[in-house]
Structure 1
Amino acid sequence: MSFATRTGPAWLTLAGLALVATACAPTEPEPRPSETTDAAASGTAAPSPTDTPTTASPDASPEAASVLNQEGVAAAHPDAVAAGITVLESGGNAVDAAIAAAFAIGVVEPYASGVGGGGAALIAGPEHDPEAWDYREVVAENGEIPASGTGVPGMVAGMAALHEEHGSLEWSDLITPAQQLAAEGSTVTELLAQRLRSDFGPASIQGLDAFHDDAGQPLAQGDTLIQPELAQTLSTLAEQGAESFYTGELAEQLTHVDGLDAATLENYEPERTTPVSGTVGEYEVLSAAPPLPGAAVIQQLQVSEGLDAASAQPGSADYIDALSRAWLVADASVSEHFGDPDFVDVPVDELVDAEANQSLAQNASLRTSSTSSEERDPVEPGNTTHLTVVDDTGMMVSMTNTLTSFWGGSASENVGGFFLNDQLSRFNAIDTPNNQPEPGRKSVSWSAPSMLLDAENRPVLGIGTPGGRQIPNILTAVLVPWALQGASLEEAVAGPRHSLQNGVLALETEPSSEVADLIRNNGWDTQVTTRADAVFGSVQALEIDYDAGEVIGARDTRRDADVTIIEAD
């Protein structure tokens, strides 16, 4: 197979990968910006194929210049963070570290992501034009969606394409940490133990010895999870390259799965796109392009700003009111406009127009589509995983990967030790005129890896989260304090979260009297969540302080997340 983008020339197979390094000239240190930038983010063209080694020769391309004294990795599990840090300490760049962390997180969070799923990523640097990648699942060439909702997994092809363009270490070296975790084992966390026993967990792991103890019970917190079959799959990927997943040994296993055929596997291509962008406060916000909801996230932020959310205390009635009004505007935009832009027109420029959204704010309503309390379902937990990486050149990667539902849904299959996605179920879940299945089409979904740029067009914050349909609300709840109120990253990540869905307001704590009045006045129901409910995600964010040359992280305690900052060599 070839790793071609829909908009560019064909990629090489991994047998002929080459480093295409980005030259980043030194820049003068800048504090957090005080001026609004109106420069639009743009993608870069895919490189032309050429047969070159898997690592750069001394004169292949100039190395990027260091502008920071630190590097960092934020991910949903300490073992995935450690994998990324190991790569950075070995001389790898942010893309190398992100790839290693992505493979590793699929081992220790098998319910959330892995080689059977897909994802999206943003990449930017101080003098590197932002680029977006979409390597999510597509409808098979016969146009049919299987009962499982499984689409062609794009994660492996996506990592291969990123490595081909930006990688500096050997492909196999980036998979080794994940392979070792699978073969040698990782400790079962409280969250993994819960997922093994809840929603789709019991059915998904039925008959899989790796996830059960000697008595046949699901592994408990503190047990060791060893996944020999997944370890073998990762060894095959390391030794035979990504093409083994789409045309080789692993592809042969996948073609036995309903909905996956040899032709669709072979023809799968990750897609390079231009990030959507819009001004919020003093920053340019970048996020994932349609059919992902990045433009809706930006719209929600801009409408929130127009409603003066910056003057409201996070978690207060005024704050929840403003952000919920903004969310209903953005949610309506997704329903009305969003779809795969290769098949439908999505008016992105209109959706991220700050002036237009300021006007929309004046008429933003809190009316919801549901008026009968009997029709209201609780806000559901949200799957997915996110990671953010920064290296000493200021290159930043913001990456969201997913199986869609936990474990890939109720009809998930385990092939080669990994779980397959149910991404194509999103055509039914988001059943709008612009989101209908066709061969090769991607569905609207909720993953939204994002970044904020300063007045010099340098990335100063990379952010993302799991959370399903709550993702825009989670990101807005963190970005309004950080970008508009001057809160520290730690304060913003630890702050209260809420989500209004179908007349139900989910909160993390019992509502105050003022919030209770807001709920009563709008006829909403209240849902108070716990950590085990996994509703409010786990934000993985890194901030860059160019003046100090430092990377700043904040650990989100809502899940098993971790963050590590190291001194650059």
Structure 2
Amino acid sequence: MNNHLKKKYSSMYKYFTLLLALCFSLSAFSQNYKTGMVVSAHPEASKVGVAILKQGGNAIDAAVAVEFALAVVYPNAGNIGGGGFMVYRASSGAVSALDFRETAPSKASRDMYLDKNGNPVSDLSQYGSLAVGIPGSVAGMVEAHAKYGKLAWRKLIEPAIQLASEGFHITAMQASELNKHHDDFIKCNSTKTVFANEKQWKAGDILKQTELAKTLTLIKNKGRKGFYEGRTARLIVAEMNRGNGIVTLNDLKKYRAIWREPVVGNYKNFKIITMPPSSSGGIALISLMKSVEPYPISKWGFQKDSTVRLMVEAERRIYADRSTHLGDPDFNPIHQKELLNDKYIKDRMSSVSFDRATPSQEVKPGNLNGYESEQTTHFSIVDKDGNAVSITTTLNGSYGSHVVVAGAGFLLNNEMDDFSIKAGFPNQYGLVGGLLNAIEPNKRMLSSMTPTILEKDGKLFLVVGSPGGSTIITTVFQTILNVIEFGMPVQTAVNAARFHHQWLPDKVFVEDNAIPQNVREHLSSTGYEIVPRDKIGRVDAVQITADGWLQGGADSRGDDAVSAY
């Protein structure tokens, strides 16, 4: 064989080897499953969910089990002391939404976090017992199970009890987070908590939560009453009394989760089913999708100059509207139809320029007829029959208020900070709110959580959501576009680098590897302030292929895991 042929075959061999390696890589990257899938923030919780599916449980049964398991193995956001939202799609195509968002205590008042000069004292709404809203997670799971559950309630809580009583091995990321918050646990609690270790936590350490196991056992045996009444309720109120909190026994007993109509919109041949107020996420997400729909972003390309400009300008306008026009629908009328009106959205986008940034000071909330931490967690589940559930829950900040209920072993939220503690004053995520989100007794604070389900041509296509405070909406928005417009497999779409804009502050926040440098430079030269920051969101998603295979996307930014069979 002459040298020319040797070189030719050598090159072909190298090419074939690389192609084969890529095929194996992609195969491992996007495994297909037929029967059921759970994607959550922690491997142990995902395993619990799949175990329930294997026992004949449906997607809601698995969701209940995962929610309580996360309260044990993911204490900085998984919870029974917080709240959240659920979007459900039955295999028949019927849809529903459950609002188990926290509410303000009955003794709450509009100016409760202002000093004598009328200025916000932000720590009061972020740390300690005064920051706590009435928890909704337990009530939400009870409601979901009562309406759709198949297996016995007791069976669904048992895995979480075992994880709490026997303990589990914490990850390196969890060890780092617990060590980081050590001083806050000491500061915010009058009694010792299991989270504040005398020695530095390290990966592989076992975290046992015997007090939490007792609380979960009460919930297993008594359902709703095991949390909102009796021993646990008394312990919550005792904790309030020690720390200047205002949650009462009557507040707990009166709390109710609420069934709502999902927000539904269309994007090309996709139907988007997502969360209505008191979350801002659904209306904002559909508004964003409608804002970019007329433009050829797939042709422009992923994070190319025009694509980024369009998305940022859409985000700027939608977050401006969020600041004024969204809140708890049980307290104020929400002009949902107007906000999602095609002409209104087109008019809002008509001022977009591809030559320069629109300064946020020039963008005001639109005129209508009438007046979160980033430590949230999300999980997505599809069962063997094609029932799908998308749930996002939160304590708000990482580990919430940092207050652990003595004797009950669980963390309480700091969701009161999600209210507008003063109109025009930003919360801990920089979000600015208005009068519709002012503090009132028994009111639900506005959220950015965006649990979402997509159909394609009438069939289940994608179950998706993310934590991330104010970045949740833009994270879900980008993930959906990554799949639909840029043709990414769901795992690639979830891992792809992200950016974020929220009207105020007028900055484009970017992850390290988001937006190529030359595009950044061009954007900067035309009025965009590019600000590097750490991780944005942690998406957990399930995609259903045209032939019915389940593919999972577990965000590499965390310990998130796919479990399936």
Relative to structure 1, the CA distance from residue 77 to residue 393 in structure 2 (aligned partners, 3 Å threshold; closer, same or farther) is same
Q: Which has the higher helix share?
A: 2
1:84 paired to 2:49: yes
Task: Please tell me the residue identity of whatever aligns with 1:286.
Answer: I
Relative to structure 1, the CA distance from residue 415 to residue 270 in structure 2 (aligned partners, 3 Å threshold; closer, same or farther) is farther
Aligned partners of 1:398 and 1:449 also within 8 Å: yes
Q: What whole-Å deviation, never above 9, does each CA across 1:465-520 have from its counterpart, x for those lacking one?
A: 00000011111111112123333212321222011251332222255112222024
Alpha-carbon distance, 1:411 to partner: 6.3
Instruction: Tell me which residue corresponds to 1:540.
Output: 540
- Superposition pairs of residues 134-283 of structure 1, within 5 angstroms: 134-144=99-109, 147=124, 148-198=130-180, 200=181, 202-204=183-185, 208-213=192-197, 216-256=198-238, 257=240, 258-283=245-270
Quick one: distance in 1 between partners of 2:311 and 2:200? Answer: 40
Question: Which stretch shows the higher mean deviation, 464-473 or 243-252?
Answer: 243-252
Indicate the SS of the match to 1:460: strand
Relative to structure 1, the CA distance from residue 205 to residue 462 in structure 2 (aligned partners, 3 Å threshold; closer, same or farther) is farther
Aligned partners of 1:504 and 1:527 also within 8 Å: no
Aligned partners of 2:482 and 2:493 also within 8 Å: yes
Instruction: Tell me which residue corresponds to 2:512.
Output: 509
Question: Which stretch shows the higher mean deviation, 421-430 or 143-152?
Answer: 143-152
Aligned partners of 1:96 and 1:169 also within 8 Å: yes
Task: Please tell me the residue identity of whatever aligns with 1:261.
Answer: T
Instruction: Tell me which residue corresponds to 1:461.
Output: 462
Alpha-carbon distance, 1:195 to partner: 1.8
- Superposition pairs of residues 36-435 of structure 1, within 5 angstroms: 69-144=34-109, 147=124, 148-198=130-180, 200=181, 202-204=183-185, 208-213=192-197, 216-256=198-238, 257=240, 258-293=245-280, 294-354=282-342, 356-364=344-352, 366-369=357-360, 382-409=374-401, 416-427=408-419, 428=421, 429=427, 430-435=432-437
Indicate the SS of the match to 1:156: helix
Relative to structure 1, the CA distance from residue 132 to residue 73 in structure 2 (aligned partners, 3 Å threshold; closer, same or farther) is same
Task: Please tell me the residue identity of whatever aligns with 2:464.
Answer: I
Aligned partners of 2:235 and 2:405 also within 8 Å: no
Task: Please tell me the residue identity of whatever aligns with 1:507.
Answer: V
Identity level (%):
29
Alpha-carbon distance, 1:279 to partner: 1.0
Quick one: distance in 1 between partners of 2:75 and 2:403? Answer: 15
Aligned partners of 1:287 and 1:448 also within 8 Å: yes
Quick one: distance in 1 between partners of 2:441 and 2:383? Answer: 39
Aligned partners of 2:132 and 2:401 also within 8 Å: no
**Structure 1 unpaired stretches of 5+:** 1-67, 372-379, 530-534
Indicate the SS of the match to 2:36: strand
Relative to structure 1, the CA distance from residue 322 to residue 153 in structure 2 (aligned partners, 3 Å threshold; closer, same or farther) is same
Aligned partners of 1:151 and 1:259 also within 8 Å: no
Alpha-carbon distance, 1:549 to partner: 2.9
Q: What whole-Å deviation, never above 9, does each CA across 1:262-305 have from its counterpart, x for those lacking one?
A: 11111111000001111112111111111212101111121122
How big is the alpha-carbon RMSD for the aligned residues of Structure 1 and Structure 2? Answer: 2.2
Indicate the SS of the match to 1:418: coil
Indicate the SS of the match to 2:554: coil
Quick one: distance in 1 between partners of 2:412 and 2:450? Answer: 21
Quick one: distance in 2 between partners of 1:504 and 1:415? Answer: 44
Relative to structure 1, the CA distance from residue 459 to residue 227 in structure 2 (aligned partners, 3 Å threshold; closer, same or farther) is same
Quick one: distance in 1 between partners of 2:405 and 2:310? Answer: 42
Relative to structure 1, the CA distance from residue 201 to residue 303 in structure 2 (aligned partners, 3 Å threshold; closer, same or farther) is farther
**TM-score, scaled relative to structure 2:** 0.81
Relative to structure 1, the CA distance from residue 439 to residue 352 in structure 2 (aligned partners, 3 Å threshold; closer, same or farther) is same
Quick one: distance in 1 between partners of 2:235 and 2:276? Answer: 32
Relative to structure 1, the CA distance from residue 409 to residue 309 in structure 2 (aligned partners, 3 Å threshold; closer, same or farther) is farther
Quick one: distance in 1 between partners of 2:277 and 2:196? Answer: 40
Alpha-carbon distance, 1:240 to partner: 2.2
Instruction: Tell me which residue corresponds to 1:470.
Output: 471
**Structure number with larger C-alpha Rg:** 2
Quick one: distance in 2 between partners of 1:454 and 1:350? Answer: 25
Indicate the SS of the match to 1:385: strand
Aligned partners of 2:104 and 2:133 also within 8 Å: yes
Quick one: distance in 2 between partners of 1:368 and 1:115? Answer: 41
Instruction: Tell me which residue corresponds to 1:59.
Output: none
Instruction: Tell me which residue corresponds to 2:10.
Output: none
Aligned partners of 1:454 and 1:460 also within 8 Å: yes
Question: Which stretch shows the higher mean deviation, 429-438 or 333-342?
Answer: 429-438
Task: Please tell me the residue identity of whatever aligns with 1:432.
Answer: G
Indicate the SS of the match to 1:400: strand
Task: Please tell me the residue identity of whatever aligns with 2:57.
Answer: G
Alpha-carbon distance, 1:359 to partner: 4.3
Aligned partners of 1:188 and 1:225 also within 8 Å: yes
Task: Please tell me the residue identity of whatever aligns with 2:541.
Answer: A
Alpha-carbon distance, 1:349 to partner: 1.5
Quick one: distance in 1 between partners of 2:512 and 2:394? Answer: 28
Relative to structure 1, the CA distance from residue 133 to residue 364 in structure 2 (aligned partners, 3 Å threshold; closer, same or farther) is farther
Alpha-carbon distance, 1:75 to partner: 0.5
Instruction: Tell me which residue corresponds to 1:60.
Output: none
Question: Which stretch shows the higher mean deviation, 308-317 or 465-474?
Answer: 308-317
Aligned partners of 2:508 and 2:528 also within 8 Å: no
Aligned partners of 1:187 and 1:223 also within 8 Å: yes
Quick one: distance in 2 between partners of 1:265 and 1:410? Answer: 20
Aligned partners of 1:314 and 1:495 also within 8 Å: no
Instruction: Tell me which residue corresponds to 2:444.
Output: 442
**Structure 2 unpaired stretches of 5+:** 1-32, 114-123, 125-129, 363-371, 422-426
Q: What whole-Å deviation, never above 9, does each CA across 1:141-161 have from its counterpart, x for those lacking one?
A: 233468432111010010000
Quick one: distance in 1 between partners of 2:406 and 2:173? Answer: 20
Quick one: distance in 2 between partners of 1:565 and 1:322? Answer: 37
Relative to structure 1, the CA distance from residue 201 to residue 123 in structure 2 (aligned partners, 3 Å threshold; closer, same or farther) is farther
Instruction: Tell me which residue corresponds to 1:564.
Output: 563
Aligned partners of 2:178 and 2:196 also within 8 Å: no
Alpha-carbon distance, 1:400 to partner: 0.4
Alpha-carbon distance, 1:140 to partner: 1.7
Q: What whole-Å deviation, never above 9, does each CA across 1:419-474 have from its counterpart, x for those lacking one?
A: 00011111123431111122211011111111112332x43211000000001111
Alpha-carbon distance, 1:225 to partner: 1.0
Alpha-carbon distance, 1:412 to partner: 6.9
Quick one: distance in 2 between partners of 1:347 and 1:203? Answer: 40
Relative to structure 1, the CA distance from residue 152 to residue 281 in structure 2 (aligned partners, 3 Å threshold; closer, same or farther) is same
Alpha-carbon distance, 1:329 to partner: 1.4
Relative to structure 1, the CA distance from residue 203 to residue 312 in structure 2 (aligned partners, 3 Å threshold; closer, same or farther) is same
Alpha-carbon distance, 1:311 to partner: 2.7
Count of residues paired in the alignment: 481
Indicate the SS of the match to 2:289: helix
Aligned partners of 1:140 and 1:259 also within 8 Å: yes
Quick one: distance in 2 between partners of 1:309 and 1:194? Answer: 39
Question: Which stretch shows the higher mean deviation, 204-213 or 282-291?
Answer: 204-213
Quick one: distance in 1 between partners of 2:402 and 2:215? Answer: 23
Task: Please tell me the residue identity of whatever aligns with 2:493.
Answer: A
Indicate the SS of the match to 2:462: strand
Task: Please tell me the residue identity of whatever aligns with 1:222.
Answer: G
Quick one: distance in 2 between partners of 1:549 and 1:173? Answer: 29
Task: Please tell me the residue identity of whatever aligns with 2:491.
Answer: E
